Amino acid sequence: MTRPILLINGPNLNLLGTREPQIYGSETLADVVGLAKQNAEKLNVKLYDFQSNHEGAIVDRIQQARDEGVKGIIINPGAYTHTSVAIRDALLGVNIPFIELHVSNVHAREPFRHHSYFSDKAVAIIVGFGVKGYGTHSFISSLVALMGIPEY
Ligand SMILES: O=C(O)[C@@H]1C=C(O)[C@@H](O)[C@H](O)C1
């Protein structure tokens, strides 16, 4: 029985690899998701992934996660981190523990990136590890533990 978790990436993360590589690195989103899935599988964790540039689509995907029995969500809301009450409400509404992730250290960037609509409700926050934050083996196992997802 695998333990389903959902990885959500918000706007412009589909540009990873070509987008401001000095900030976000040169790996593509496909590289990142592939590594995370590989490492999740080793831990008997089924990782679903989703990327959208549209706030409502992210809200819909979060709501769908409850029906799928997703046990935890790792979300990089992208710029919606700093603006979206709607995505915050969706996460609270489905009552699934989530971890907030950012490739860059948002606190070392422009002031408008210092506020997050998610951090006060996140189980944990991963900030500034670059794309490594998405999914080395040790990260996934600690994320799963942090989200209180039981061993099957
Ligand atoms: O570091 C990241 O992954 C976040 C990604 C984005 O697209 C920005 O809008 C956020 O401000 C930071």
Averaged pLDDT, groups of 10, the chain, 152 residues long? 88 97 96 89 90 98 95 96 98 96 97 98 93 76 78 58
Which ligand 1 atom sits nearest the alpha carbon of residue 76? Answer: 3
Task: For ligand 1, say whether the CB of 106 is within 6 Å of any of its atoms.
Answer: yes
Q: What is the pLDDT of residue 151?
A: 64
**Separation of alpha carbons 81 and 23, rounded Å:** 17
Which ligand 1 atom sits nearest the alpha carbon of residue 113? Answer: 11
| Ligand 1 centroid to residue 150 C-alpha, Å | 30
Distances (CA, A) of 139 to 40, 60, 78, 93, 98: 10, 27, 20, 26, 14
**Separation of alpha carbons 89 and 66, rounded Å:** 14
Instruction: List the beta strands (DSSP E) in the chain.
Output: 3-9, 45-51, 72-76, 98-102, 124-127
Task: For ligand 1, say whether the CB of 83 is within 6 Å of any of its atoms.
Answer: no
Instruction: For CA atoms 59, 28, 125, 5, give the dihedral sign.
Output: positive
Catalogue the long-range contacts made by 23-29 (C-beta closer than 8 Å, 24 or more residues apart). Answer: 23/103, 23/104, 24/103, 24/104, 24/130, 24/131, 25/103, 25/130, 25/131, 27/131
| Ligand 1 centroid to residue 88 C-alpha, Å | 16
> pTM of the prediction?
0.94
Catalytic residue ranges: 24, 102
Task: For ligand 1, say whether the CB of 103 is within 6 Å of any of its atoms.
Answer: yes
Query: Does the structure's ipTM exceed the value 0.90?
Result: yes
Mutate to test the pocket of ligand 1, among 18, 106, 126 (most ligand atoms within 8 A of CB): 106
Task: For ligand 1, say whether the CB of 14 is within 6 Å of any of its atoms.
Answer: no
Q: What is the pLDDT of residue 85?
A: 98
